[in-house]
Amino acid sequence: MRVVRLAAEDDFEGWRSAARSAALAGIPAEHLHWQPGEATTDLFAASINSAPLPPVAPADDFAVPRRFIDVASDAILHVDPSRFAQLYALLLRLRDHPALMGDEADPSLRRISGMAAAVRRDIHKMRAFLRFREVIEADRTPRYIAWFEPEHHILRANAGFFVRRFATMRWSILTPRGSLHWDGATLHEGPGAHRSEAAGDDPVEAVWKSYYASIFNPARLKIGTMLKEMPRKYWKNMPETALIPSLIAGAEAREKNMVEAARIRPLGDGRAALEALREEALCCHRCPLWKPATQTVFGEGPADAHLMLVGEQPGDQEDLAGHPFVGPAGKILDRALAEAGIDRANAYVTNAVKHFKFEPRGKRRLHAKPNNGEISACRWWLDQERSIVRPRFIMALGASAAQALLDRPVTITRSRGQPILLDDESEAWVTVHPSFLLRIPDETRRAEEYSRFVADLTALKDRITAL
């Protein structure tokens, strides 16, 4: 028996290189014992051979279908200890019969594809169900801590996603088998942790609970769907699930009420959830913009608005007043909305970024464009606002708002004037930011662009009326 040591449970490259060497050396699957992680005392005492496998000469190397590599790199993260051996056995067969990869009926290929699918589901669940809790550290800055129990060895595979999604926050993800710590610049790995090391109840949980109670609405989400999407094993890590028993108990009555009330939404719940969210946002430290700004400028408008208007960020006057779109850009917006026949009082008006970003110039504070990190840090709030208000239509004013909404860079000229379907089935529309109009020096051109702005709003208004 020959022992192959791998650096870790998810060491795909280590497995791949050892498997290639072993296959070329003609070693049968049953003569290899795969041992991931730290070397331990010998399992097979004197009978083992842990000498390194011979290196592969480039001339001897062999190719396997790309699809095998894709499946194997996922399946290797499965908890089943026999995965390394199963993959190696399949590799030996594939070397002689590459067409085997297309044989859906082959039992070992099916087993391995099933493992890969289970790993992908686990990766998705971690992204969807992980919840951060805020703790204030000794230097008085916040760190967000999450406890999660993945089924498979997916922690490292998911690290890039959380770094990109929460690039400007300091966070730690603790799991029983390992932990990740991000300080805004560097990712560190640590040992496994215990659930008690993650923080307990705190104000962030209150927001989740309130938000969750507001979205738990049988007209929007059937219980069955919710339970399927949010398996019971994750409930204990999710503050909002403390509400589930009472929500289920009340669900039947709610459903009946909903049927009776046709499509009317529980406004009270939405208002309370927005209020809780607004209060929470007042002390948002998700990115450094809170420091020089006067205050958080949160969204405003009816909690059941069918239309949401999203700007870029508060300007100088909004920062002082604490309300969105009350300065010069707001005046143009109001005028254009009125010309398009849209009543601003019926819309929920908010911004992609909730703090004023500026550069001081003498006594003046000049608007500075928010960067990708700031937009993505603040998207958390916009997502919560959207989940509570559930607008059917969202108008993004300018490229930053469109980027926050669509999670990708957007060119306004190419995207304006037509609906873009979002994953909750609402429609995003994009147009220019009203400040853009203010900055056009040429009067004729300014008038033309203003007309196009009004035309975009009118097209949206027509669409809303047509439904």
- Return residues touching ligand URA (CB under 6 A): 311-315, 318, 324-325, 327, 329-330, 351, 435
What is the nearest approach in angstroms of ligand URA to the Cβ of residue 454? 18
Q: What single-letter amino acid sits at 111?
A: R
Instruction: For the CB of residue 329, give the shortest distance to ligand URA in the complex, in Å.
Output: 4
Q: How far is the CB of 278 from ligand URA (least distance, A)?
A: 15
Which CB sits closer to ligand URA, 73 or 435? 435
Spatial distance between the Cα atoms of 308 and 302, rounded to a whole number of angstroms? 10
- How far from 363 is each of 99, 291, 321, 360, 367, CA to CA, in Å? 72, 18, 18, 7, 13
Which one, of 185, 75, 63, lies nearest residue 122 by Cα?
A: 75
Q: Which is nearer to ligand URA, 91 or 396 (CB)?
A: 396
Please identify which residue in the block is written with the tokens 């008690």. Answer: 196
CA distance 213 to 309: 24
Nearer to ligand URA, 162 or 325 (CB): 325
* CB 318 to ligand URA: min, Å: 4
DSSP per residue, 26-39 = T--GGGEEEEESS-
CB of 455 to ligand URA, least distance (A): 20
Which residue's C-beta sits nearest to ligand URA?
A: 311
- CA angle (25, 31, 36) in 5-degree steps: 95
Longest dimension (CA), the chain: 89
**Residue with Cβ nearer ligand URA (22 or 349):** 349
Shortest distance in whole angstroms from residue 316 CB to ligand URA: 9
Q: Provide the H-helix boundaries in 236-291.
A: 244-260, 267-282
- Nearer Cβ to ligand URA (178/330): 330
Angle at 9 between CA 5 and CA 15, to 5 degrees: 50
Pick between residue 142 and residue 299 the one whose CB is nearest to ligand URA: 299
Give the number of other CB atoms < 10 A from CB of residue 449: 15
Min. distance of Cβ 431 from ligand URA in angstroms?
12
- Which tokens belong to 129? 């169900």
b/e map of 329-348 (b: 16 or more CB within 10 Å)? bbebbeebbebbebebeebb
Whole-number Cα distances in Å, 426 to 386, 419, 465: 10, 9, 15
Instruction: Please give the order of strands across the beta sheet that includes 307-311.
Output: 347-351, 307-311, 393-397, 427-431, 420-421
Task: For the CB of residue 85, give the shortest distance to ligand URA in the complex, in Å.
Answer: 58
Closest CB 314 distance from ligand URA, rounded Å = 5
Tokens coding 172: 């730690």
Q: Which two tokens stand for residue 177?
A: 């088998």
The least CB distance from residue 386 to ligand URA, in Å, is 17
Identity (one letter) of the amino acid at 405? L
CA distance linking residue 88 with residue 68, whole number of Å:
11
Measured from the CB atom, the residue of 216 and 325 that comes closer to ligand URA is: 325
CB of 354 to ligand URA, least distance (A): 10
Write down the least CB distance from residue 400 to ligand URA, Å: 8
Residues in Cβ contact with 419 at an 8 Å cutoff, skipping those fewer than 6 apart: 427, 428, 429, 463
Residue found under tokens 């003498």: 362
Q: Which is nearer to ligand URA, 241 or 435 (CB)?
A: 435
CB closer to ligand URA out of 126 and 307: 307
Q: Which of 50/294 has CB closer to ligand URA? A: 294
Please classify residue 202 by burial: count the beta carbons closer than 10 Å to its beta carbon, then call 0-12 exposed, 13-18 middle and 19+ buried: middle
Closer of 255 and 334 to ligand URA (Cβ): 334
Phi, psi of 173 (to 5 degrees): -115, 120
Cα 349 → chain centroid: 23
- Name the token pair of 261: 């009330």
C-beta separation of 390 from 265 below 8 A: yes
